[in-house]
């Protein structure tokens, strides 16, 4: 699927796995799908020729080519301006894909780090949102000035510092809560005045 778009997904561009991911999840138009169930291969080839498609192509391929034509220059300029740690954060954040277990339970898998999670991490969600707002404001590569890109760098740093602080505070809070005993009844009550969280 990725090769049809001229892509080869690696750890360096795992954020682009979203394109073939969307292509795989996209259904054929109902009329096209019905006709593609034709019994004879000749009929299938004939239908694809009518749609001016190559054998094995999807009607939305042209759309995804246009998406990549716009996305790749923007991505290259953004990554070229991000600090090294923020490049990894950017790629990691945009590499989460949502899947379903056989029983229908959803889970997330990261194409960059190979992590699996029941939830989309907050920092990833925040970076994706900030990037989306950024790209909505600057819609062309030439609009990505040094000042604008520095602002995105600062935004990503802020997200990770804020997330790190929140995680640390939660750990400190949970450390004050006594574990529940095996019978589920012996829970020590703690005093909120004992909580000391670094500002």
Q: Give the single-character DSSP code of 109.
A: E
- Indicate whether 83 pLDDT > 70: yes
The answer to whether the CB of 129 falls within 8 A of the CB of 32 is no
In the chain, what percentage of residues exceed pLDDT 90?
A: 12
pLDDT at 3: 74
DSSP alpha helix (H) spans, the chain: 18-25, 30-35, 41-50, 61-81, 84-93, 122-137, 146-174
- Indicate whether 28 pLDDT > 80: no
104: left (phi over 0), alpha (psi -120 to 50) or beta: left
Residue 96, phi then psi, degrees to nearest 5: -85, 125
**Considering only 13-22, 122-131, 138-147, 174-183, which range has the smallest mean pLDDT?**
174-183
The answer to whether the CB of 97 falls within 8 A of the CB of 17 is yes
Residues 6 or more apart from 88 whose CB is under 8 A from it?
A: none
Task: Give the mean pLDDT of 72-81.
Answer: 89
Give tens-digit pLDDT for 134-192. Answer: 888 888 888 888 888 898 889 888 888 877 665 555 555 545 544 444 444 444 444 44
**Among candidate residues 175, 167, 180, the one with its CA nearest the CA of residue 196:** 175
């Amino acid at each position: 699927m990725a090769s049809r778009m001229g892509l080869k997904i690696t750890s360096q561009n795992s954020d682009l796995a979203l394109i073939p991911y969307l292509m795989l999840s996209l259904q054929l138009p109902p009329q096209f799908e019905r006709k593609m169930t034709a019994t004879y291969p000749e009929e299938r080839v004939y239908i694809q020729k009518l749609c001016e498609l190559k054998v094995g192509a999807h009607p939305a391929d042209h759309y995804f080519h246009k998406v990549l034509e716009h996305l790749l220059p923007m991505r290259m300029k953004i990554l070229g301006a991000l600090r090294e740690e923020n490049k990894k954060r950017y790629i990691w954040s945009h590499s989460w894909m949502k899947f379903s277990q056989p029983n229908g339970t959803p889970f997330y898998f990261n194409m960059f780090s190979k992590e699996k999670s029941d939830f989309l991490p907050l920092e990833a969600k925040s970076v994706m949102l900030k990037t989306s707002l950024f790209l909505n404001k600057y819609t062309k590569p030439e609009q990505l000035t040094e000042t604008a890109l520095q602002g995105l760098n600062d935004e990503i740093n802020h997200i990770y510092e804020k997330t790190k602080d929140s995680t640390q505070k939660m750990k400190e809070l949970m450390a004050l809560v006594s574990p529940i005993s095996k019978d589920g009844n012996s829970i020590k009550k703690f005093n909120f005045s004992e909580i000391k969280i670094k500002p």
